[in-house]
Structure formats: C-alpha cells, structure tokens
C-alpha cells in the first residue's frame, strides 16, 4: 500500500473564510484505489442494477406504483448487499398518474398509425374518440378570445410545425481535451434579479406565463377540445416531452400529447392544403384519488470514529414515462448503488458514514432532495416581504434566514450523478475554491480513466442544488454527453440500450473513490462562506 500526496494550494484555501486553519497535504491511499478499480472493473453489477430498474420496473414517474416499487426494490437491494438501515423516507407529493395505454391514428384522409405520448398528468379519453385536426396558436389572452366558441371537439395542433433538417454531424458527443480546458476556465455568469438586469424581465416573464397558464387551463375546460398536440422536441421518431400547461400532481383539463415531429409536420402540411384531417385517440390514464407520498431511499455504510458525520452520494430514482428513464437517471442511481456495493464488498471501514440517497420528484423540481435537506439539514424561513413570499423559491430575491438542524454541522459533502450515461471527466466546484486542491488530489490517480478536470463554474439542473443553496458542499460531476441531448433526455428512447457499460463502470469507480476519500480525510469537506444574513457554521476542522 502506497500513499501519494497531492499539492494543496495555499492561495485557494485562504480565499474562503471556512478553509482557514491548518493546511494539510491531501493524502490518498492508492492501495484502496487499486482494490476499488479491481472490484469495479472485474466484478461490476452496475448494468445488472440498471437493467432491473429500466426493464423490470420500467418508467418511474413520481407518485406512480412503479415509482414506489423502485424505492422498495432499491431499499431491499442495498440491504441485501449489506448496507445498514436501508429505509424509505416519505414526503408529500400530490396525485399519482400512470399511463396505461396510448394509441393515436390518422383516420382521414388516409389511415396511418402515429407516434405520440401524453404528457404527465394529462387527461385520458373515454375510449377511442375521433376529431378533426386544427392548427391553432394559443399564446396570449387575445388568442384565447379569438378562438372562443370554435374549438369544441377539435384536436388542436399547437405551435408551428418544426422544419426538419438533415443530420450532418454524428450526434454523439464526448469532451475533447480543448473543450475540457475551456470548461476549466471560469466564466462570470450574467446577473439575474438585480435591478436593471435581465433577471427582472425573466421574473416578470415567469409571472406572466404562470398567469396565462391558468387562463389557458380555464379556457380549455370551458371549450372542451378533444386534445392538444405539440411536436416532440426531436426528430427521427424520437419524442421528447415538452413542458405542458398542467402541473405535476394535478390533472390537466384535456388530453395533451407530444407527437413525433415527422407525423406532426405531415398533418400540418395537409391542413395547409385545406385537406381535412381526422385523428383517433385512445388514451387510458390512471389518476389516483388521493395525494401520494414521494420517497427517498436511504441506506448507510456506517462510519467508525466519525460515524455521526455523513458523506452522501445520490441520483434520482424517478423518471419521465415515455422511455424507461435509463440515462435520466437509472444511470446515476446504478452508479451510486454500485459505488457503495464496491466499498461494502471490500469491507472498507470508513471513518464517516457513507450514505446513499436515491431521490424522488427530481423531475418536478428536486422535490426529494429538497425534502431530505429540509428533514435533516436546514430549512429557510419565509421571506419578510409579502410580494417575495408569493414567488416560488427559485424566483425569490430575498432568501429567508437559514434555520439549521443538528445534522447540518455533521454533514460533509454530497456527490450527485445525473447528466446521462457519459463517463466522469471531472467535477464542477460550484464556486468553492477551497475544494479545488482536494478534488485535484483525488482526481490525479484516476486521470488515466479520463477524469481530471475541475472547474469553479456552477452547474445546475439537478439534486446537488438544494444542498448548495443551504451552504453545504454539493457537487455534480462533469460527464460526457454521449447521446443525452441528441437522443435520450426526456424521450421515448431513454432506454437501457443507450447505457454505456464502460462509462458506468468508470463512473462507479470514481464515485466510490470520492466517497472513500471524503469519508477518510481528517476534516469535513470545506464549505463556501455563508451569505452574511445567515448564521455562521462551524469551520470544517472543528
């Protein structure tokens, strides 16, 4: 067993209040790394885990029976691998919705099967129903007034037909060395929310859209069109969900479908030629009568001398429903489960407790990870300004004061994986300069696996955000996109076949290695300075 020593940058540490104190070299245990690599590359179960989630359990929309089954199965599986206190922690969600059947056909002018998927929480139809297709633009109150009384029984094509172009380049993407170098350079973000900044308009635009959505839903319940149809975000038979007028956990007034672009454009061209188009829809959905619980699957590898302190790894177990949620985010869940399976198989006795958190409700706004933060770590007081209180949390300019729970001071770090199947190329530091030399020391001996980049840039859009927003270290890794944006993200083709075995094995090894290092180092992972209006926390070396 050999230890190597990473370089610690004094300048980086002195920049943050909480990193003050004794400066140490960051030691890493290469003997343990060899064992992690051996277990992760030679006896991997990551694809088996992912296949069970995708193929056997299937899509896992929050609040659906399959979603609950996924939490139960992961809890049981983690227990079977020897993790301790595997449990499901519940939080309030809303009504559950499951898609049971969707069949969409053109019946006039010529018959044709059509590829279309209802949005989550869409209404169903009462058996097979037929209606005439009609192009509409429902984007303003004036549009609604113009169409009043004209839409009953119609199937509405909303939005312009997309222009489809030939795919000139390969839609498979990995970071080049130049792109990673560029990513490592800091970029000052445009300001949001300060007076005179673009953020003010963004907020007004959000309020305007919210108001319009309410008006649109009221209009649709009165007008009773048979359905709304939008073009899916991709082409090539790839149907990507779009944002609909209904909110998760609440039913929509009429069925709302997303259709494959090529089928949508054909109908649009027929209508442009003034040829009548009749469609037949048969949509069976199940909306539960009662409010469902959301869950987080939690399980631990108990720590030893620092067992009250927690290193947390996570991904989200919920998915959208058109595919089987393979790259979003069975991949992250399988990697996190594999990382703790590896560490447990090696009978590692970590100093801190290594905990798995498999979240629900990520797709509806990080609901599970937020619930974990609220239940265990910190809550925020409501803003004092009544206008601010009306805003959703992410739009508020005034953030309420943090109220810390006892576990807050014992929390070390959260590592998240939720950017598809692509292997880990490095890590976003969320502006936390003090962690850079530490993570660089951990990445150095896995550089041969392609992971070596750190960037102080922020990334957003997934479950590290609730931790970061209460001042705790929460990080998402930099991952190769592979086919995430071109093919799988929120589409009907987000399925097991798109998962890349070598990428997921690499990510599992790096996740296990990061968890091990965070659990073994003397101090907690350094935190960013808290915003001044919020209470101070203890320094990491306390």
Residues that bind Zn ion (CB under 5 A): 328
Q: Specify burial of residue 354 (Cβ count, 10 A radius: 0-12, 13-18, 19+).
A: buried
Phi, psi (rounded to 5 degrees) for 202? -60, -45
Q: In terms of residues, how long is the chain?
A: 542
Q: For the residues of 154-196, what is the DSSP string, one character each? A: -EEEESPPPPP----S---B---HHHHHHHHS--PPPP-SSTT
Query: Closest CB to Zn ion among 223 and 328?
Result: 328
Neighbours of 17 (CB within 10 A): 14
Preceding amide of 262 cis, omega within 30 = no
For the bound state, the minimum distance from the C-beta of residue 249 to Zn ion, rounded and expressed in Å, comes to 17
Kindly tell me which of 120 and 540 has the beta carbon lying closer to Zn ion: 120
Rounded CA separation 58/378 (Å): 34
Q: How far is the CB of 263 from Zn ion (least distance, A)?
A: 24
Q: Which is nearer to Zn ion, 97 or 516 (CB)?
A: 97
Q: How far is CA 267 from CA 79, 111, 131, 164, in A?
A: 52, 12, 13, 14
- When the beta carbons of 309 and 463 are compared against Zn ion, the nearer one is 463
Return the number of the residue (89 or 329) whose C-beta is nearest Zn ion. Answer: 329
Query: Which residues lie closer than 8 Å to 272 by C-beta, 6 or more apart?
Result: none
Least distance between Zn ion and beta carbon 323 (Å): 11
DSSP code of 45? -
* Nearest of 450, 458, 447, 466 to residue 394 by alpha carbon: 466
CB of 527 to Zn ion, least distance (A): 28
Q: How far is the CB of 418 from Zn ion (least distance, A)?
A: 7
What residues contact residue 263 under an 8 Å CB cut-off, 6+ apart? 112, 114, 115, 116
From the centroid of its chain, how far is CA 344? 26
Tell me how far, at minimum, the Cβ of 287 lies from Zn ion, in Å.
22
Orientation of helix 501-520 relative to helix 30-42, angle to 10°: 150
Query: Do the Cβ atoms of 120 and 248 come closer than 8 Å?
Result: yes
Nearest distance, CB of residue 363 and Zn ion, angstroms: 5
**Residue 99 burial (CB count, 10 A):** 20
Which residue, 12 or 323, is less far from Zn ion as judged by CB? Answer: 323
- Nearer Cβ to Zn ion, position 241 or 279? 241
Contact present, 393 and 405 (Cβ < 8 Å): no
| Alpha helix ranges (H) inside 403-460 | 436-443
Closest CB to Zn ion among residues 462, 508: 462
- d(CA 391, CA 47) in angstroms, rounded, equals 42
Closer residue to Zn ion (CB): 323 or 383: 323
CA nearest to 466, candidates 407, 423, 414, 429: 414
3-state helix, strand, coil in the chain (%, to 5): 35, 25, 40
Q: Which is nearer to Zn ion, 37 or 490 (CB)?
A: 490
**Which CB, 371 or 438, lies closer to Zn ion?**
371
**Residue in the shown chain whose Cβ atom is closest to Zn ion:** 328
Residue 54 beta carbon to Zn ion: minimum distance, rounded to whole angstroms:
15
- For residue 85, the minimal CB distance to Zn ion (Å) is 28
C-alpha to C-alpha distances, 526 to 334, 411, 438, nearest whole angstrom: 28, 11, 9
Smallest distance, Zn ion to C-beta of residue 262, A: 24
57 vs 441, which CB is nearer to Zn ion? 57
DSSP at 482: B
Under a CB-based contact definition with an 8 Å cutoff, are residues 249 and 107 in contact? no
Cβ atoms 288, 95 nearer than 8 A: yes
Closest separation between CB of residue 328 and Zn ion, Å? 4
Give me the least distance between CB of 53 and Zn ion, in Å please: 15
């Amino acid at each position: 067993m050999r230890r190597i020593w990473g370089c610690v940058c004094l300048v980086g540490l002195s920049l943050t209040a909480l990193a003050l104190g004794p400066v140490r070299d960051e030691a890493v245990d290469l003997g343990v790394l060899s064992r992690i690599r051996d277990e992760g590359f030679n006896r991997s179960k990551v694809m088996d885990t992912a296949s069970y989630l995708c193929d056997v359990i299937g899509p896992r929309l929050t609040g659906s029976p399959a979603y609950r089954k996924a939490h139960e199965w992961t809890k049981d599986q983690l227990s079977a691998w020897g993790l301790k206190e595997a449990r499901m922690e519940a939080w309030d969600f809303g009504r559950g919705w499951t898609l049971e059947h969707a069949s969409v056909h053109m019946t006039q002018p010529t018959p044709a099967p059509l590829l279309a998927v209802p949005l989550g929480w869409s209404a169903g139809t009462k058996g097979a129903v037929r209606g005439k297709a009609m192009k509409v633009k429902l984007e303003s109150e004036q549009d609604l007034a113009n169409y009043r009384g004209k839409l009953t029984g119609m199937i509405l094509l909303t939005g312009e037909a997309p222009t489809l172009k030939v795919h000139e380049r390969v839609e498979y993407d990995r970071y080049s060395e130049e792109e990673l170098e560029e990513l490592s350079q800091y970029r000052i973000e445009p300001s949001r929310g300060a007076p005179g900044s673009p953020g003010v308009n963004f907020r007004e635009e959000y309020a305007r859209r919210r108001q319009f959505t309410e008006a649109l839903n009221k209009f649709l319940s009165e007008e009773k069109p048979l359905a709304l149809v939008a073009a899916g975000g991709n082409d090539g038979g790839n149907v990507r969900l779009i944002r609909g007028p209904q909110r998760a956990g609440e039913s929509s007034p009429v069925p709302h479908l997303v259709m494959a672009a090529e089928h949508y454009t054909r109908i649009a061209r027929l209508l442009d030629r003034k040829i009548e188009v009749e469609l037949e829809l048969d949509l069976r959905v199940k909306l539960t009568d009662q409010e469902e619980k959301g869950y987080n699957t939690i399980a631990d590898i108990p720590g030893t001398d620092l067992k009250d302190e927690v290193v947390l790894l996570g991904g989200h177990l919920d998915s959208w429903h058109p595919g089987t949620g393979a790259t979003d985010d069975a991949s992250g869940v399988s990697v996190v489960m594999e990382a703790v399976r590896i560490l447990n198989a090696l009978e590692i006795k970590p100093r801190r407790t290594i905990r798995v958190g498999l979240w629900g409700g990520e797709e509806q706004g990080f609901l599970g990870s937020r619930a974990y933060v609220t239940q265990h770590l910190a809550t925020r007081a409501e803003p004092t300004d009544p206008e601010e209180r009306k805003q959703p949390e992410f739009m508020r300019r005034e953030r309420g004061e943090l109220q810390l729970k006892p576990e807050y001071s014992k929390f070390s770090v959260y590592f998240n994986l939720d950017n598809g199947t692509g292997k880990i190329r490095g890590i976003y530091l969320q502006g936390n300069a003090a962690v850079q030399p530490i993570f660089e020391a951990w990445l150095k001996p896995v550089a041969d696996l392609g992971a070596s980049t750190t960037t102080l840039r922020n990334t957003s859009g997934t479950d590290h955000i609730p931790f970061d927003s209460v001042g705790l270290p929460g990080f998402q890794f930099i991952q190769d996109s592979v086919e995430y944006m071109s093919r799988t993200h929120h589409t009907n083709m987000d399925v097991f076949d798109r998962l890349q075995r070598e990428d997921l094995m690499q990510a599992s090894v790096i996740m296990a290695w990061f968890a091990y290092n965070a659990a073994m180092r003397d101090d907690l992972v350094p935190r960013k300075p808290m915003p001044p209006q919020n209470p101070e926390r203890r320094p990491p070396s306390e």
